[in-house]
Chain A
């Protein structure tokens, strides 16, 4: 037996080495392709980050991936600030307010829902889970026209509350919470706490919530990433410029300035390519930072607990 085992381990140790020799060129080709795609993935973002360092003329004539000066960012920011009496800062504030409200409201409601379904014996668990999964898999865009009709009926169109409420429905978060609570807290703990006189609300505040920090971080992460750059919902629900978010405002800059389309005519302040790129950075970079910090969370979350850790 011991000889067999030794042979096996020898084979196991040698096999990858032999294979590596055999597929040497293929191995380098694969690695080369992986690196090529990584570089290709980063180049557009690199352009976006470097463009505001240049003047509009330099953006066209200098090397697209070159850096000009930090003064370029300051100038582009000043120009953006003076566009329509500083409306960009207002859009940024709108984005921050709406997203913060959605992140808090969506995470709390989803976490509570997941807890109740995992800890209680309520009857409509099956219907709840199926409807949540359906909502999770149907793209939100599919419901936009019906939602507009509904919001119009209750006079919430052009009211930020419409976007906050609609986006706070977080079926993916509820499902994630259900999986998390089911996997981390055994039902026996709830039962013994109940016997000790703990109320159902106490089960959440004293047992589930203190164990929920990783879950809440995950919920907040997905809610932020999904809503910070959301274009369609605010575009439909909030037609007044004072309610725009940064992504919708960026779209408005496209058609109200000559930055991308010279046919749009000049504006009183120079809103050209560096300024547009800086506005793009304001939309993309917060998401990029969050993504880079939490890429493992993205993977675990998207697979919604179906991978056992």
Chain B
């Protein structure tokens, strides 16, 4: 009893210190999900009597299938391109440590500063034959007018390049950082055994950074699925109508803010959340990315410590 009395106020202070974060986690992580679930069966013009069959209504929406093809096409190009390019570049950077590579790494981080509206501005310029710093290259390819590039049919490729250009650099540096964690003894031993640089990269380094590559893959996949800002800005501000409800998130936004149909918008948001959640759970429980995180409860830890003590005795 007395122990309990001593511990309670101590834990209370700890819980008080934790509470600002816990409140944020509850109000902006958990509660919106609960509210979205409750919002799904609400009455709307497309679902006048309300009810959970709104999921079916969303699935039958004529804009969903085109959005799905757009996003799937985008992901099919973007995710493998990112993974292959980033891994190849970081392995190339890691071949030797010349002093000039420091400047190269600095340059790679620059595109990461450009996101959202600035990214749209820059890509408008890059792909506009009269303005582009690459106008000579475009001329060589016979591109004289922006309309030759800015078409709905080309949008997948344009958005892949936009997302790839913005994200590749910072991921190259992150994977390069993970390569730096490989012990020099391991690499030296492989070299002594006659490993070529290519064998060293593919047979030693790559398997050792596998978990970081998976981590990147999941984050890139989850982020790509939720593409919104670039097609939305292009559609509303630069080339009107080029990307009308092009992605899932744009459709969800349009359902909520153009049609005022928050039931359908919530249903679509929840459906999109599922793959991201599965990805997150896979990384947490099926990879060793967070192996150092101690998920065990204090009780279990105490039991294990006791067992160890007994075994040692």
Check B111 against A65 for contact (C-beta < 8 Å): no
With most chain A CB atoms within 10 A of its CB, the pick from B113, B178, B289 is B113
> Which of A71-79, A93-101, A109-117 lies at the interface?
A109-117
Task: Provide the residues of chain B in CB contact with A122, threshold 8 Å.
Answer: 11, 14-15, 18, 298
Q: Which of B31, B197, B240 contacts A23 (CB 8 A)?
A: B197
B68 beta carbon closer than 8 Å to chain A: no
Q: Which residue of B lies closest to A132 (CB)?
A: B25
Assess the A145–B36 pair: CB atoms within 8 A: yes
Residues of B contacting A: mostly: helix
CB neighbours of B226 from chain A (8 A): 139, 141-142
Q: Give the Cβ gap from A11 to chain B, nearest Cβ, in Å.
A: 6
Whole-angstrom distance between the alpha carbons of A107 and B6 in the complex? Answer: 31
Smallest CB gap from A148: residue in B: B256
Evaluate whether A145 and B262 lie within 8 angstroms (CB atoms) in the complex, with A41-B108, A122-B15, A302-B174 already known: yes
Q: Does A298 reach chain B (CB closer than 8 Å)? A: yes
Q: Chain A residues with Cβ under 8 A from B212's Cβ?
A: 303, 306
Give every chain A residue within 8 A of B126 (Cβ-Cβ).
Answer: 44, 47
Majority secondary structure, A binding face: helix
Given contacts A44-B126, A134-B281, A232-B228, contact A291 B113 (CB under 8 A): yes
Tell me, yes or no, whether B80 is within 8 Å of chain A by CB: no
A137, B279: Cβ atoms under 8 Å? yes
Give residues of chain A (226-284) contacting chain B, Cβ–Cβ below 8 Å.
Answer: 229-232, 236, 247-248, 250-251, 254-255, 260-261, 263, 273, 276-277, 280, 283-284
What's the nearest-Cβ distance from chain A to residue B255, in Å? 9
Which stretch (A27-35, A82-90, A210-218) binds chain B? A27-35
- What 1/0 flags go to A294-305 for Cβ under 8 Å of B? 010011101101
Q: Are B269 and A142 in contact, with the CB atoms below 8 A?
A: yes
Given the interface contacts A231-B229, A299-B174, does A133 sit within 8 Å of B115 by beta carbon?
A: no
Q: Size band of the A side of the interface?
A: 35 or more
- Does B79 touch A at the CB level, under 8 Å? no
> Which residues of chain A are near B133, meaning CB under 8 Å?
43-44, 46-47, 64-65
- A229 pairs with B298, CB closer than 8 A: no
Interface CB pairs A-B, < 8 A, 17: A19-B197, A37-B104, A41-B169, A113-B17, A126-B296, A136-B280, A141-B249, A165-B27, A165-B28, A179-B293, A201-B17, A251-B233, A284-B113, A295-B173, A302-B170, A302-B174, A306-B212
Task: Determine whether A171 belongs to the interface, using a CB cutoff of 8 Å to chain B.
Answer: yes
Interface residue? A125 (CB, 8 A) = yes
Q: What's the Cα separation between A137 and B282 when bound, in Å?
A: 10
A120-B11, A146-B33 as given contacts; A292 in contact with B106, CB under 8 Å: yes
> Interface of B with A (CB < 8 Å)?
10-11, 13-15, 17-18, 20-22, 24-25, 27-33, 35-36, 39, 89, 92-93, 95, 98, 101, 103-118, 120-122, 124-126, 130-135, 165, 169-170, 173-174, 176-178, 180-181, 188, 191-192, 194, 196-197, 211-212, 218-219, 222-223, 225-226, 228-229, 233, 236-240, 249, 252-253, 256, 262, 265-266, 268-269, 272-273, 276-277, 279-281, 283-284, 289-298
Instruction: Judge if A80 is at the interface, Cβ distance under 8 Å.
Output: no
**Contacts known (A16-B191, A179-B292, A260-B238); A147 close to B89, Cβ less than 8 A:** no
Tell me, yes or no, whether A129 is within 8 Å of chain B by CB: yes
Q: In the complex, which of the residues A19, A113, A150, A200 contacts B21, with contact meaning CB atoms closer than 8 Å?
A: A113
Instruction: Tell me whether A255 and B173 are in contact in the complex, defined as CB-CB below 8 angstroms, given that A122-B14, A125-B297 are known contacts.
Output: no
A138 touches B280 (CB 8 A): yes
- The answer to whether A199 has its CB under 8 Å from any CB of chain B is yes
A149 contacts the other chain (CB 8 A):
yes
Give Cα A138 to B270, complex, Å: 12
On chain A, the residues within 8 Å of B249 by CB distance are 141, 144
How distant is the Cα of A108 from the Cα of B249 in the complex, in angstroms? Answer: 32
Which residues from B are CB-within-8-Å of A132? 25
Task: Enumerate chain A residues within 8 angstroms of B109, measured Cβ to Cβ.
Answer: 291-292, 295, 298
Complex-state Cα separation, A133 to B28, whole angstroms = 15
Expressed in whole angstroms, the Cα–Cα distance for A44 and B125 within the complex equals 9
- Given A299-B177, A307-B178, A229-B32 contact (CB < 8 Å): no
State the Cβ distance, B70 to closest chain A Cβ, in Å.
16
Quick one: which of A12, A15, A60, A277 contacts B121, CB cutoff 8 A?
A277
A221 contact set on B, CB distance < 8 A = none
Q: Cβ of A19: which chain B residues have Cβ within 8 Å of it?
A: 196-197
**Known A122-B11, A200-B14, A232-B229; contact A37-B131, beta-carbon cutoff 8 A:** no
Contacts of B125 in A (CB 8 A): 44, 47, 51
Given contacts A112-B17, A150-B31, A199-B13, are A298 and B173 in contact (CB under 8 A)? yes
Inter-chain contacts of A189 with B (CB < 8 A): none
Q: With a CB–CB cut-off of 8 A, which chain B residues contact A261?
A: 237-240
- Residue of B with least CB distance to A283: B118
Question: Within 8 Å CB of A121, what residues of B?
Answer: 11, 298
Q: Please give 6 more A-B residue pairs, beta carbons under 8 A apart, in addition to A112-B18, A137-B219, A291-B112.
A: A15-B194, A133-B280, A182-B294, A284-B118, A303-B174, A306-B291
